[in-house]
Chain A
Amino acid sequence: MINMIKVYLTLLLIFFKIGLFSFGGGYAMIPMIQREIESQGWLTTQEFVDVIVIAEMTPGPIAINSATFVGFKVAGVPGGVFATLGVSLPSIILVMFVSRFFFKYENHPIKEAIFYGVRPAITGLIFSAAITVAGTALFRTNPLDLVGKNVSSILEVIKPGSIIISIIALFLLARKKVHPIVVIMLSGIMGILLYHVLPSVGVNIFI
Chain B
Amino acid sequence: MIEGDILDNNTSNNTAARNTRGGRNIRNTCNMHDICNAHNENNGKKAVSARFLFELFITFFKIGSFTLGGGYAMLPLIEREVVHNKGWIDANEIVDYLAVCQSIPGAIAINTATFIGKKTAGKKGAIFASLGVILPSFLVITITAAFFSSIKDYPLVKAAFLGMHASSAALIAMAAIRIARSCIRDSFGLAIAIIAIIAVVFLKIHAIFTIIAGAAAGLVVYLFFPGKAGKILSGTSNVTNNENNNE
B106 in contact with A192 (CB, 8 Å): no
Closest CB in chain B relative to A26 CB, distance in Å? 5
Say yes or no for A188: interface residue by CB 8 A criterion: yes
Question: Is the CB–CB distance between B169 and A120 below 8 Å?
Answer: no
Q: In whole angstroms, how far apart are the Cα atoms of A44 and B106 in the complex?
A: 25
* Known contacts A77-B142, A121-B99; A61/B172 CB under 8 A: no
Q: Does A29 contact B (CB under 8 A)?
A: yes
Once the chains are docked, how many angstroms separate the CA of A165 from the CA of B170? Answer: 9
Instruction: Decide if B82 is an interface residue (CB 8 Å cutoff).
Output: no
| Shortest Cβ gap from A70 to chain B (Å) | 9
Q: How far is the CB of B24 from chain A (nearest CB, A)?
A: 13
Which residue of A has the minimal Cβ distance to B123? A96
Interface of B is mostly: helix
In the complex, what residue of chain A is closest to B222 when comparing beta carbons? A113
Chain A interface bracket (under 10, 10 to 19, 20 to 34, 35 or more): 35 or more
Query: Which residues from chain B contact A130 at a C-beta distance below 8 Å?
Result: 72, 169, 172-173, 176
Is the CB–CB distance between B144 and A121 below 8 Å? no
Cross-chain contact B107 with A88 (CB below 8 angstroms): yes
Q: How far is the CA of A92 from the CA of B112 in the complex (A)?
A: 10
A58 within 8 A of B: yes
A41-B243 Cα distance, complex, nearest whole Å: 57
User: Could you list 17 further interchain pairs (A-B, Cβ under 8 angstroms) beyond the known A59-B136, A187-B166?
Assistant: A26-B108, A50-B150, A55-B141, A61-B107, A61-B108, A61-B109, A63-B109, A95-B106, A104-B1, A107-B239, A112-B232, A113-B218, A114-B215, A118-B218, A119-B99, A120-B189, A127-B176
